[in-house]
Amino acid sequence: MTIDHETLVQDMTAWRRGLHAHPEFGFEEQRTSAFVAAKLREFGLDEVVAGVGGTGVVGTLKRGGGNRAIALRADMDALRIAEQGEAPYRSQNAGVMHACGHDGHTAMLLGAAKLLAAAGGFNGTVRFIFQPAEEWGRGALAMLDDGVMERFPFEEIYGLHNAPGLAIGQFQTRPGAIMSAEDNFEIVLRGVGGHAARPHVGKETLVAACALVMGLQTIVSRRLSPAEIAVVSVTELITDGTRNALPGEARILGDARSFSPAVSADIEQQMRVITDGIARAYNVEQTVSYTREFVPLFNDPALTREALGVAQDLFGAGNVSVAPEPFTGSEDFARFLDHVPGCFAFLGNGDSAPLHNPHYDFDDAGLIHGARFHAEIVRRRLPAA
Ligand SMILES: [Zn+2]
Ligand SMILES: [Zn+2]
């Protein structure tokens, strides 16, 4: 049996708009995961298991006697952003919206499941992984902690993300590093607050905090090799001072991006050294907490060549490109690549608003490209006899 192209486009568009109207925050994707599981069952998959790592869903489809298995992954969660778009299918869940296009990712992976379940054309096992809480950087880990690799084994994995600014129908990826690690930090300086007219009798923390903000800018420019790509951004400086009272406490929060665990470790170590030095110089106490939210994403070179080959066959060589450099955004998909090789790639979303913008919307014209890529990479990697 084959599926009519127009019907599939209409189906995916309807699913995507339904998901868009009912966005759910990470680990709260109850309605979304129930919808996904119901659709996968309707398509006749061999096994559909919900509740993997919280609200995650894994569907399994087998054809032929092949013993190899590959996974396709989509993310289902939305963001705490109030939608400002006016589409008839706009968010009905106040303060939550699909501002990263995970509604589109979910719909196109469902489309691929429907295609492959109806038309086959491969020999082996496909795992359809719908993960929760990508935006937190926690959903993939939750599924891994819940035994996704042991319960639904697979040898390689593929994922797609829409890309505003890239034309619809265009496909881009690169071998090696493609998305960065995201580390978060919070530095607290503690002294003694007091009267704004008498700074010399206290240990105020604001001037120390300003020196520290400037000092942190030297980590990338003066401590890391110029050959490395990294970003250290201070995003918040909060004190307990008021207009005529010097603060006794200052908190500096921020975000660091890098493409290797060694560079991430260097950034943390330099941050501790600089913070300690400045705190001593200003005679205040300090604590640094440094957490790793996302690991860097490395595409397997051989499987990336396969993905590029599939995309060239489907979309034409002129619509497929190798990204010249990695992106400093982060992606939870990287957690799966700690276990198996795979490839993460971008599909054009045209001239939409940027990701995480209140006017963003996934362009339904991209759905068919995503569904076809997912289905074809399966047929390429698990060839039918
Ligand atoms: Zn996002
Ligand atoms: Zn996203």
Contacts of 216 (CB under 8 A, 6+ apart): 232, 234, 252, 254, 271, 274
Report CA 377 to chain centroid distance, whole Å: 21
CA dihedral 294→295→296→297, nearest 10 degrees, is -90
Superfamily of domain 5-176+297-381: Zn peptidases (3.40.630.10)
- Looking at all shown ligands, the one closest to residue 160's CA atom is 2
CATH architecture of the domain 181-294 equals 2-Layer Sandwich (3.30)
Q: How many CB atoms lie within 10 A of CB 16?
A: 27
Sign of the Cα pseudo-torsion (355, 356, 359, 362, in order): positive
| Averaged pLDDT of the chain | 96
Q: How many CB atoms lie within 10 A of CB 363?
A: 18
- Looking at all shown ligands, the one closest to residue 354's CA atom is 1
Contacts of 236 (CB under 8 A, 6+ apart): 251, 252, 253, 254
Query: What does the alpha-carbon distance between residue 177 and residue 192 come to, in Å, rounded to a whole number?
Result: 45
Mean pLDDT, residues 266-278 = 98
Query: What does the alpha-carbon distance between residue 300 and residue 344 come to, in Å, rounded to a whole number?
Result: 9
How many angstroms does the Cα of residue 198 sit away from the middle of ligand 1?
Answer: 47
Query: What does the alpha-carbon distance between residue 234 and residue 254 come to, in Å, rounded to a whole number?
Result: 4
- Tell me the Ramachandran region of residue 51: left when phi exceeds 0, alpha when psi lies from -120 to 50, beta otherwise: left
How many angstroms does the Cα of residue 273 sit away from the middle of ligand 2?
Answer: 34
How many angstroms does the Cα of residue 19 sit away from the middle of ligand 1?
Answer: 16
Instruction: Using the predicted structure, report yes or no on whether residue 360 has a pLDDT greater than 70.
Output: yes
pLDDT for 3 equals 79
pLDDT in tens, 5-46: 899 999 999 999 999 999 999 999 999 999 999 999 999 999
E strand or H helix that includes residue 113:
helix 102-119
pLDDT for 5 equals 87
User: What is the pTM (predicted TM-score) of this model?
Assistant: 0.89
Query: Which letter does DSSP use for residue 200 in this model?
Result: G
The full set of domain ranges for the chain reads 5-176+297-381, 181-294
**Lookup: tokens for 253:** 């929060």
How many angstroms does the Cα of residue 123 sit away from the middle of ligand 1?
Answer: 34
Report CA 298 to chain centroid distance, whole Å: 13
How many angstroms does the Cα of residue 165 sit away from the middle of ligand 1?
Answer: 15
Mean pLDDT, residues 179-186 = 96
pLDDT confidence bin for 1, thresholds 50/70/90: low
How many angstroms does the Cα of residue 26 sit away from the middle of ligand 2?
Answer: 12
How many angstroms does the Cα of residue 266 sit away from the middle of ligand 1?
Answer: 26
According to DSSP, the β-strands at 69-75 and 285-294 are: unpaired
- Looking at all shown ligands, the one closest to residue 162's CA atom is 2
End-to-end alpha carbon distance in the chain: 18
How many angstroms does the Cα of residue 379 sit away from the middle of ligand 2?
Answer: 26
Percent of the chain scored above 70 by pLDDT? 100
Could you tell me which of 374, 385, 380 has the C-alpha nearest to residue 117? Answer: 374
Query: What does the alpha-carbon distance between residue 137 and residue 331 come to, in Å, rounded to a whole number?
Result: 7
Mean pLDDT, residues 280-285 = 98
Mean pLDDT, residues 223-236 = 94
pLDDT in tens, 78-124: 999 999 999 999 999 999 999 999 999 999 999 999 999 999 999 99
Could you tell me which of 57, 66, 67, 97 has the C-alpha nearest to residue 79? Answer: 97
Instruction: Using the predicted structure, report yes or no on whether residue 247 has a pLDDT greater than 70.
Output: yes
How many angstroms does the Cα of residue 164 sit away from the middle of ligand 2?
Answer: 11
- Exposure of 209 in the CB half-sphere (CA atoms within 13 A): 27
- Looking at all shown ligands, the one closest to residue 135's CA atom is 1
Instruction: Using the predicted structure, report yes or no on whether residue 385 has a pLDDT greater than 90.
Output: no
Query: What does the alpha-carbon distance between residue 91 and residue 142 come to, in Å, rounded to a whole number?
Result: 26
Question: Hunting for tokens 């990508």 — which residue is that?
Answer: 134
How many angstroms does the Cα of residue 161 sit away from the middle of ligand 2?
Answer: 6
How many angstroms does the Cα of residue 118 sit away from the middle of ligand 1?
Answer: 31
Query: What does the alpha-carbon distance between residue 144 and residue 52 come to, in Å, rounded to a whole number?
Result: 9
